C-alpha cells in the first residue's frame, strides 16, 4: 500500500475550477494574494494522514511510541495537531522544549536529544518533566547526573550510539556511521555504563538510541539497525545484568521530491523493523523492547509547499535563462547546503504546457542562490505564482534573515479554511533586538 510520503504533492492538492492549484480546499493564488509571498502553506489533512499511516503501519507491534522529530518544522500549531494524533516529540534544544510545552504536548511522551546540550537546557528538561533524555557523550552524563541530583530526581535516559551503518544519502545527513559527531562509539558503551552503575546514581538507563541518517530510500538498513541494537542489549544484559527495555531507532524515511524519487512506504520500513525484532530478540536473549520511531521530514515535508512570486528574468547569450522569485536561500537553504532538488509548478496556470527550460534563482546576493536548476515550465511572466512542492521540512526551520530580508508567514489550510500559524516578520521584528551603544549617540 502506498503511503503519503511517496506522493509528490499534499494529498488534497488538485486543480480547481479556476484552473489554479488548490491545497486543503484553498486556492493557492488567493492565498498568495491574501497573505503575500513567499508563503509557507501546510496541509493539515496530509499531516494527519501521514501520522495515522505511521501508527497503522506499526500497529502489529504492541510497544511503539511515535515521536515527531521537531527539528523538521515546529510551531505550536504543529505540536497541537500531532499531540492530538498521539505523538510525543523528539526535541534538540531549549526552544523546541519550550514550544512543545507551550503547544500543549504531554512532556512525559517527549525525548530530549542532541550532541551538546547546555546545563540550562538539561535543567529545563528535568523541570518540565521531559520523559527521556538521550545522552550523547561523557560530559553530558556528568552534567545530567549533577542536574538531576540538584533537582532531587532520578532521570530516565537512553545512550545514543553510532551503530556503524551508512545509508546512501548526502554525507551531511548521515548520522549512524562510525565517523560521526553524534553518540557513543560501541567501544565506549561499557565505560558509560560503568559510570552510571558506580557514580551516576541519579540516572536510570532504560535503553539505546541510534539514528542512521535522513532521506533514506533503503529498507534493509532498518533491519540491520535493530539487529545491532538488540545484539548490544544482549551483550549488556550478559555482562552487567541490565535488562534494557527501549530502543530508539530515529527516523529518516525519505520522501518524493521529484518524479524520479521512489522512497519506500511507511509499511515497508515497519515490516523490516518488526521482523528484525522478532528475529533477533530471542537470538540475543533479550525481551522484545518498546520501540521509538522519530519521523520528521516524512510527516511534514510532503505536507508543506512554498509559494513564490515571479520577478525578473535574464537570458544569458547562448546560456541559461534565469527567472528570479521573491525568496530563495534564506527561506529554503537546502539547495545550497545539500544540492537538494525540488519540483515546481505554475500555481496560476498549471494546465499550460511546459515550453522552456529555466533556472529558478533566488533574490539573495549569492551566486549559489539557486532553487532549481534547469527545469521545464511554461513561459513565466512577472507576477506569476510558483508552487514549490515538498518544502515543509527544513525550510522555515533553517531559514534566516540573510540580507535583512523578512522571514515569510506560514499558514495552515484545511477544508477551505486558512489560518496563520506563523506571522510574517516586520521590520520592527527584524530590528527589535538591535542595540545602539550609548557612546555612539554622543
How far apart are the C-alpha atoms of 410 and 405, rounded to whole Å? 16
Instruction: Check residue 416 and give left, alpha or beta (phi > 0: left; psi -120 to 50: alpha).
Output: left
Point out the catalytic residue in the list 110, 262, 365, 387: 365
CA 8 to CA 156: how far, in whole Å? 39
* 2: three-class secondary structure by DSSP: coil
Identify the CA nearest to 349 among candidates 53, 47, 28: 28
Kindly report the length of the chain.
Answer: 442
142-145 contacts, C-beta under 8 A, 24 or more apart: 142/200, 143/117, 143/119, 144/200, 144/202, 144/203, 145/199, 145/200, 145/201, 145/202, 145/203
Integer Cα distance of 365 and 4 in angstroms: 36
Strands 132-135 and 88-91: unpaired
Are the C-beta atoms of residues 247 and 228 closer than 8 Å to each other? no
> CA geometry: angle at 281 spanning 275 and 284, to 5°?
135
Decide the pairing of beta strands 39-43 and 14-15: unpaired
Query: How many alpha carbons lie under 13 Å from residue 124 in its C-beta half-sphere?
Result: 18
Structure letter (DSSP) for residue 132: E
Picking from 307, 391, 396, 326, the residue whose alpha carbon sits closest to that of residue 77 is 396
Cβ pair 27, 39 in contact under 8 A: no
DSSP output for 211-258: ---SSB--SHHHHHHHHHHHHHHHHHHHHH-----EEE----B---SS
DSSP label of 395: S
Is 110 a known active-site residue? no
The set of residues, in sequence order, having a beta carbon less than 8 Å from that of 416 and lying 6+ positions away, is 24, 25, 26
User: Which positions are annotated as active-site residues?
Assistant: 365
Amino acid at each position: 500500500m502506498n503511503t503519503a510520503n511517496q506522493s509528490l504533492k499534499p494529498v488534497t492538492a488538485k486543480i480547481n475550477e479556476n484552473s489554479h492549484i488548490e491545497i486543503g480546499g484553498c486556492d493557492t493564488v488567493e492565498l498568495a494574494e491574501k497573505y503575500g509571498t513567499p508563503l509557507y502553506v501546510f496541509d493539515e489533512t496530509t499531516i494527519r494522514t501521514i501520522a495515522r499511516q505511521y501508527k497503522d503501519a506499526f500497529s502489529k507491534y504492541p510497544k511503539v511510541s511515535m515521536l515527531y522529530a521537531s527539528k523538521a518544522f515546529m510551531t505550536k500549531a504543529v505540536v497541537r495537531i500531532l499531540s492530538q494524533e498521539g505523538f510525543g516529540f523528539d526535541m534538540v534544544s531549549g526552544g523546541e522544549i519550550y514550544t512543545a510545552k507551550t503547544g500543549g504536548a504531554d512532556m512525559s511522551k517527549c525525548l530530549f536529544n542532541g550532541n551538546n546540550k547546555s546545563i540550562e537546557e538539561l535543567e529545563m528538561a528535568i523541570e518540565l518533566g521531559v520523559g527521556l533524555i538521550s545522552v550523547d557523550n561523557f560530559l553530558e552524563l556528568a552534567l545530567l547526573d549533577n542536574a538531576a541530583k540538584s533537582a532531587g530526581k532520578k532521570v530516565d535516559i537512553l545512550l545514543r550510539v553510532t551503530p556503524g551503518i551508512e545509508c546512501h544519502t548526502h554525507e551531511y545527513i548521515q548520522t549512524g556511521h562510525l565517523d560521526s559527531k553524534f553518540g557513543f562509539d560501541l567501544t565506549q558503551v561499557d565505560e558509560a555504563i560503568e559510570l552510571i552503575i558506580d557514580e551516576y546514581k541519579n540516572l536510570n538507563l532504560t535503553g539505546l538510541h541510534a539514528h542512521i541518517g535522513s532521506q533514506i530510500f533503503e529498507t534493509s538498513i532498518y533491519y540491520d539497525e535493530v539487529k545491532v541494537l538488540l545484539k548490544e542489549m544482549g551483550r549488556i544484559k550478559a555482562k552487567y545484568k541490565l535488562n534494557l527495555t527501549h530502543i530508539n531507532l530515529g527516523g529518516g524515511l525519505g520522501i518524493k521530491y521529484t518524479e524520479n524519487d521512489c522512497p519506500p512506504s511507511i509499511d515497508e520500513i515497519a515490516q523490516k523493523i518488526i521482523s528484525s525484532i522478532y528475529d533477533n530478540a530471542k537470538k540475543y536473549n533479550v525481551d522484545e523492547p518498546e520501540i521509538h520511531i522519530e519521523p520528521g521530514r516524512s510527516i511534514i515535508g510532503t505536507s508543506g509547499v512554498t509559494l513564490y512570486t515571479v520577478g525578473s528574468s535574464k537570458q544569458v547569450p547562448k546560456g541559461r535563462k534565469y527567472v528570479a522569485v521573491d525568496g530563495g536561500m534564506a527561506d529554503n537553504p537546502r539547495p545550497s547546503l545539500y544540492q537538494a532538488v525540488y519540483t515546481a509548478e505554475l500555481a496560476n496556470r498549471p494546465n499550460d504546457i511546459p515550453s522552456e527550460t529555466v533556472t529558478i534563482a533566488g533574490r539573495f546576493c549569492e551566486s549559489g542562490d539557486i532553487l532549481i536548476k534547469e527545469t521545464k515550465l511554461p513561459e513565466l511572466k512577472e507576477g506569476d505564482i510558483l508552487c514549490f512542492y515538498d518544502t515543509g521540512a527544513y525550510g522555515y526551520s533553517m531559514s534566516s534573515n540573510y540580507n535583512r530580508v523578512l522571514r515569510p508567514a506560514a499558514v495552515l489550510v484545511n477544508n477551505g479554511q486558512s489560518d496563520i500559524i506563523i506571522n510574517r516578520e516586520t521590520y520592527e521584528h527584524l530590528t527589535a533586538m538591535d542595540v545602539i551603544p550609548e557612546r555612539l549617540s554622543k
